[in-house]
Amino acid sequence: MKDDKKIVFITGCSSGMGRITALYLASNGYKVYAGSRKPHKLRDIESESLIPIKLDIKDFKSVEKFLNNIKKVDVLVNNAGYGLVGSVEEVSEEQMFEQFDVNVFGVFRVCKAVIPKMRESGGVIINISSFLGKIGLPLLTFYNSSKYALEGITDSLRHELKPFGIRVHSVLPGFFDTNFARENLVTNKTTFSDKSPYKDIVSTLAPTLIEQINNGNDKIEVAKLILKIIKDENFKARVAIGEKAKKFIPMRQVLSDEEFEDRVEGYYLS
pLDDT at residue 1, rounded to an integer: 46
Task: Tell me the chain's radius of gyration from C-alpha atoms.
Answer: 19
* Residue 147 annotated in active site: yes
Confidence of residue 211 (pLDDT cuts 50, 70, 90): confident
The whole-angstrom separation of Cα 50 and Cα 31 is 6
Active site residue 30: no
Domain enclosing residue 112, as ranges: 7-268
DSSP letters for 63-92: HHHHHTT-S--SEEEE----EEES-TTTS-
Q: Give 122-161 pLDDT, tens digit per residue.
A: 999 999 999 999 999 999 999 999 999 999 999 999 999 9
For the chain, give the percent of residues with pLDDT over 70: 96
148 occurs within a structural domain: yes
pLDDT of residue 110: 98
Per-residue pLDDT tens over the stretch 56-82: 999 999 999 999 989 999 999 999 999
Among 14, 15, 87, 170, which one carries the catalytic annotation?
Answer: 14
Please, what's the b/e burial string for 227-259 (b: 16 or more CB within 10 A of its CB; e: otherwise)? Answer: bebbeeeebeebbbbbebbbebbeebeeeeeee
**Candidate list 31, 147, 219, 244, residue with the active-site label:** 147
Residue 161 lies in a domain: yes
* pLDDT per residue as tens digits for the range 26-51: 999 999 999 999 999 999 999 999 99
3-state SS assignment for residue 241? strand
Closest CA to 16 of 228, 213, 205, 238: 213
**Residue 236 in domain:** yes
Query: Which of 129, 145, 146, 170 is labelled catalytic?
Result: 129
Count how many domains the chain has.
Answer: 1
Average of per-residue pLDDT across 250-262: 93
Residue 87 falls in the annotated catalytic set: no
Indicate whether 50 belongs to any domain.
Answer: yes
| Entry pTM | 0.94
pLDDT for the residue 91:
97
194-209 confidence digits (pLDDT tens): 999 999 999 999 888 8
- We report the CATH number of the domain holding residue 12 as 3.40.50.720
In a domain, 1, yes or no: no
Instruction: Choose the catalytic residue: 30, 143, 148, 198.
Output: 143
Residues 6 or more apart whose CB falls under 8 angstroms from that of 259 comprise none
Say if 197 falls within a structural domain. Answer: yes
270: annotated active-site residue? no
pLDDT band at 12 (very low <50, low <70, confident <90, very high): very high
